[in-house]
Structure 1
C-alpha cells in the first residue's frame, strides 16, 4: 500500500483550476443536476424531487456557481496583486462548466501542468477523494485524446490560517452582536457556539484519512472538524462552551450517520440553560444551498421555535484572508515548501499533499451541495 506523503519538490504550474461541486442555474436544471450528483445510486426522480424543493424555493438556482465565479475572480486579483502570472480556470464535478471541459480548455491554451484547488477543506470521500477520482477520470479522457497533461491537487486546508481566520472573526462578531442585542446575556453562562458540518455515514468516518498519531482513534473527518472547531473557539471565544453537530444527511433512515443532527442539538439547548446560540458552518467554504436552506431556513426556524436568539456566522466566501490563504497554499505546492514551514493551526496539520492508497475509502459518494 502506498502511504500518504508530502510533496516537497518545486513545480512549474501553467495554471490553477478551481474545482467546485457545481449547482443548477434554473428550474429546468434541478433534476438533471441531482441525477449527476447521485449517479450510480439508483435514486428515482420522485425521491430527487424531495431534495429539489430546496432549490426550487430559490428559483432553481444554487448560489454556488456565482460564488465560484467570484472566487475565481478574487484569486486572479490576488495573483495579480502579488505579481504572479498564473491564470485561474474553473470546472465543476456535477454541472457546467464540467471539469473535463475545463482541463481540455487548459490544454488547448497550451497548458500542460496545472494545480487543482477543490472548494473543500476537509478530508473525506466526497470532499477529497472523490475530487481526486474526478480529476483522474478527466485526465484519462485527455490522455485518450493524445494530450500531454498533468495535474496535482492542493492538500486539505482545514486548519490553514486563511481558512480559520474568517470563522474566528465571524464568531467573535456574532457573540458581540448577541450581547449587544440582549445585555442580560452572559457569554459563558448563556451562549453556546454550535459548529456544524455535513453528516456522513458512521461506517465511512473511520476510513477518512491515513493513519495519523494525533487522530486518537477517530476518523480524520471528525477529528479535523473537532480540531478546527477547537481552534476557532480558543481564538474567538475562550470560556464559551461549544459543540459539533451535523446536517444535511441524505441516506436512508436505516443507515447510521454521524450525529447529533443540528436541529436536535439546538432543541436540547434551552434545557441546558442556553439562551442564545452562534451557528458556525465550519464544514463549508461558501454560503451555498446547504447553508441557505439547512441553516438559514431550518436551523434558524428551530432556534425561533425554542426561544433561542441565534446568529449564523458567514462562511469564508471571498474574504480577503481566505483568498490570500488559498494563494499561499498554491505557492506552497509550487515552491515545494518544507513541511515544517507550512502554515497550520492544529496538531493534526499540515495535512498530506498526496493521499495514500485506501485513504478516504468508501463504496459510495456522499452528496454535498
Structure 2
C-alpha cells in the first residue's frame, strides 16, 4: 500500500473530478521555475550532459484496496461528495480495481526504450505519476540519485489545457521543490516538458489507421454513411476559454487532430467533436454535447451507424473503456445505432517514433513550441474568491 501520509499535491492535483470553483490558485512563476529558472533554450544540448526522458502520467490504482485512497488522493481538498467518489470507484472495481493506464504506460516506456536504443540514443527512460505510485517526486529523486542532470518530460496528454499541460509543468515543479527542500538529497536535474503533439505525424497516423480499421469493422452497407464522432475529455468552459496563450487552444487542437485523422482515413467525410467523462456539478458549465446526448441526437436525425474515435486520449485507459465501450455503446444499442469504437495511439510504432523525434528536436535546439515554452498566464484559471 502506498504511503498516503507523505505530503502530496502541494500544488493542484487531479482534474477529472475537480469542479473549477475548487481549483487552488496557481503560481504563475512555476511555468518558468520548472525549466531551471530560465526559458527553454534554442541551443543544442551540451555535449556530455547526462540526460533522461521522464514519462509523466496521471496514475491509477493497482487493486481494489487502492481505489478509494487513489480517488481521495486525486480529489484531496476539493470537497467532492463521498457518494461521487463511490460511484467512480465502482468503475474501477468493475475491472478488478486495476487501472489499465499503468500497464499502458509501462508498455509506452518499454517501446520508447527500444526506439531510443534502435536510434542510437543512449538515454534512460523513467516513469512517474501525479496521483499514484510511482509518484513524480520519487521518479525525480531516483533521477537525481542516478546522476541525471537534465530531464525531458513527456506528458501523457497531447493537448493544451490546465489539466492536460500546465498541471504537468506544476507536477515537475512540485517534484523539484520537494527535492530542494531535502538537505540530504542530491541535486536534481533541470527539466523541460516536450511540446504538444496533437498534430505530430505519428500521432495522426496512429489515429487515422485506428479510424480506418473501425470503419471497416461495420457492415459493408453502413461504412460509407456512418457518422464519424471524435471524442475528448470534457473540461469546464472556464478552463477551455484560457487554454493556450490566446485561449481556446484545447478545442482548436482537438479539431485539428480529428480533421487530420479523418483526412487520412476517410477524406471528405464530415465528423463531429463531442465530449465525455465530465464530472463537475450540473451548475458549472462544461464543454458539450456529451457523447451520449449526441448519439441520441444522431438517432433522432435518422443516422444508422456511428464510429467513435477518442482522439483526445493516447491510450485505452478507464475513461475510454468505461465511458465509451460500456456507456456509449449501451446508449447506441438502445437507440438501434450500429456502433464501433476506434482504438487509441497506444504504442503504435509511428506514434513512438514521433515521440522520439520530439525529443530529438529539443535536444538539437529546435525552436521551443507550445507545451515547452508556455507564458506564465497560459491555461491559468483564477479561483473565485470565497466568502
Q: Same fold (TM over 0.5)?
A: yes
| Pairs within 5 Å for 1:68-147 | 68-146=105-183, 147=186
How far off its partner does 1:186 sit? 5.8
Q: Which residue of 1 aligns with 2:222?
A: 185
User: 1: distance between equivalents of 2:228 and 2:161?
Assistant: 24
How far off its partner does 1:352 sit? 4.8
How far off its partner does 1:363 sit? 4.3
- Runs of 5+ in structure 1 lacking a partner? 212-217, 340-349, 365-369
Indicate conservation of the 8 Å contact 1:157/1:351, yes or no.
no
- Runs of 5+ in structure 2 lacking a partner? 1-27, 33-38
Indicate conservation of the 8 Å contact 2:59/2:129, yes or no.
yes
| Pairs within 5 Å for 1:163-312 | 163-178=203-218, 181=219, 183-185=220-222, 187=224, 190-211=225-246, 219-312=248-341
Indicate conservation of the 8 Å contact 1:170/1:313, yes or no.
yes
Indicate conservation of the 8 Å contact 2:50/2:147, yes or no.
no
How far off its partner does 1:276 sit? 1.1
CA distance 1:282–1:13, shift in 2 (3 Å): farther
SS in 2 for 1:9: coil
TM-score by length of 2: 0.85
SS in 1 for 2:221: coil
SS in 2 for 1:184: helix
Indicate conservation of the 8 Å contact 1:64/1:288, yes or no.
yes
How far off its partner does 1:332 sit? 0.8
User: 1: distance between equivalents of 2:318 and 2:282?
Assistant: 22
Indicate whether 1:360 and 2:368 are aligned.
Answer: no
How far off its partner does 1:143 sit? 1.7
CA RMSD of aligned residues (A): 1.9
Q: Which moved more, 1:328-337 or 1:286-295?
A: 328-337
User: 2: distance between equivalents of 1:296 and 1:84?
Assistant: 38
SS in 2 for 1:121: coil
SS in 2 for 1:322: helix
Matched length: 343
TM-score by length of 1: 0.89
Indicate conservation of the 8 Å contact 1:191/1:240, yes or no.
no
User: 2: distance between equivalents of 1:63 and 1:352?
Assistant: 26
How far off its partner does 1:307 sit? 1.1
Q: Which residue of 2 aligns with 1:343?
A: none
Q: Which residue of 2 aligns with 1:22?
A: 59
CA distance 1:196–1:127, shift in 2 (3 Å): same
Indicate conservation of the 8 Å contact 1:191/1:241, yes or no.
no
SS in 1 for 2:222: coil
SS in 1 for 2:217: helix
